[in-house]
Amino acid sequence: MAQIHKVVYKPDTQSTDEYIVFVNQAEYKKWKDGGKLSCSSSSSIPLALIVDAFDIFHSGQGAQGHLGRISKQTLETVFGTKHEDEAVKVVLEKGTIQASEGVQKSGTSSKNDSHGSQFVDTRGGGLRG
């Protein structure tokens, strides 16, 4: 199973708040080893090659739990900007990279999980009314 790499930024050592950006490990390592980070393609390593998406995630439970995108208010409060690309740069510069195993599906899952379990309840509730 492939590993997922993320950069985790914790602005306060006393808090459980952690902000996560998913990255391409090879490009992130190149940048950390001396590349220059920029949003434009004219610099040595464009930000778009390093990050998986221009999204910052937060779970409220550290790096564990269900991850959700941070709100605009959190973006301004924690990172001091309303521009997500600037906040992503802060996470990349001040955070630490971590690897974790990807999501593993069971062998009995369907081809399209958005359709539910594909099992029919035959216990017979019938129509009541």
Indicate the residue type of 49: L
Per-residue pLDDT of the chain (129 residues; tens, 9 = 90+): 578 899 999 988 887 888 999 999 999 988 888 766 555 544 467 888 899 888 999 877 765 678 889 999 999 999 999 999 999 999 999 999 998 776 555 555 555 555 555 554 444 454 554
Q: Please tell me whether residue 48 adopts helix, strand or coil conformation.
A: helix
Residue 6 confidence (pLDDT):
92
Residue 9 confidence (pLDDT):
92
Six token digits for residue 49: 């090659």
Asked whether the beta carbons of 82 and 75 are under 8 A apart, the reply is: yes
Q: 63 CB contacts (<8 Å, ≥6 apart)?
A: 6, 8, 18, 20, 98
Residue 121 confidence (pLDDT):
45
Domain range summary for the chain, segments of one domain joined by +: 3-102
Instruction: Give dist(CA 57, CA 60) in Å, integer.
Output: 10
Q: Tell me the CATH class for 3-102.
A: alpha beta
